[in-house]
């Protein structure tokens, strides 16, 4: 496969806008990235202000690169124009047309379906616009919210990796979830 000539974002869903980061998003990003609960199972954070600034700087510099295999978008909540999280899609293997994704959200917005809404939109772009064959994600086995969301998307648990990632002082086990284009086409709500 070939990466598209033009960017495939921003993406608008019913309640969200998935778009690239701007300098003015710093406070909203820091609000969730500095929360120890949000960062609990992640290989980053909780961020101090300098780290959030560095991350935002890296993201905005990357925006000049195109085509780009790894795309990180912020999730803006349309009702209050607030950035409530971020979602990343990374094309890892052009020959086998596969990509992974990951995401994190402000705790005040958990369990309202936003994670599912944004991830569904990413899967749709991945399969329908980019022509991917397979999309996968990993989750700490202790992170029920994360892997339950993957299952809700119609992704299949394919593996449990033993102590594969060192996070916050411990070797964790991870589940691998994946979905194929043909599964997405039949599972997708009309």
Task: Look at the block and give the residue holding tokens 């690169």.
Answer: 65
Q: Is there binding between residue 30 and ligand COA (CB under 6 A)?
A: no
What is the smallest separation between the CB atom of 176 and ligand COA, expressed in angstroms? 12
- What are the start-end ranges of the E strands in the chain? 11-12, 16-19, 70-77, 82-93, 98-105, 134-140, 156-167, 170-180
Tokens representing 127 are 């399969």
**First-last CA distance in the chain:** 27
In the bound state with ligand COA, the residue whose beta carbon lies nearer, of 23 and 28, is 28
Of the candidates 125, 124, 123, 145, the one whose C-alpha atom is nearest the C-alpha of residue 136 is: 123
Give the separation between CA 9 and CA 178, rounded to whole angstroms: 23
Q: Is there binding between residue 14 and ligand COA (CB under 6 A)?
A: no
Q: Is there binding between residue 41 and ligand COA (CB under 6 A)?
A: yes
Q: Which residue is nearest to ligand COA (CB)?
A: 115
**11, 89, 149, 179: which one contacts ligand COA (CB under 6 A)?**
149
Dihedral angle sign, alpha carbons of residues 61, 90, 152, 160: negative
What is the smallest separation between the CB atom of 5 and ligand COA, expressed in angstroms? 29
From residue 44 to residue 83, the character string flagging contacts with ligand COA as x (rule: CB under 6 A) and all else as - is ----------------------------------------
Q: Is there binding between residue 164 and ligand COA (CB under 6 A)?
A: no
Which residues contribute to the site for ligand COA (CB under 6 A)?
A: 38, 41-42, 102-105, 110-116, 139, 143-146, 148-149, 152
């Amino acid at each position: 496969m070939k990466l598209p000539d033009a960017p495939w974002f921003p993406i608008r869903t019913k309640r969200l806008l998935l778009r690239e980061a701007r300098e003015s998003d710093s406070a909203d990003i820091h609000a969730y990235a500095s929360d120890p609960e949000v960062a609990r199972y992640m290989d980053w954070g909780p961020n101090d202000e300098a780290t959030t600034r560095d991350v935002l700087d890296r993201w905005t510099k990357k925006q000049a690169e195109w085509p780009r295999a790894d795309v990180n978008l912020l999730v803006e909540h349309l009702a209050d124009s607030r950035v409530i999280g971020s979602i990343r899609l990374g094309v890892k293997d052009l020959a086998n047309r596969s990509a992974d994704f990951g995401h994190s959200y402000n705790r005040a917005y958990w369990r309202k379906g936003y994670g599912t809404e944004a991830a569904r939109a990413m899967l749709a772009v991945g399969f329908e616009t980019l022509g991917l064959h397979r999309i996968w994600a990993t989750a700490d086995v202790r992170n029920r919210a994360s892997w339950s969301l993957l299952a809700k998307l119609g992704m299949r648990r394919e593996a449990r990796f033993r102590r594969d990632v060192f996070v916050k002082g411990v070797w964790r086990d991870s589940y691998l979830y994946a979905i194929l284009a043909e599964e997405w086409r039949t599972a997708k709500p009309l």
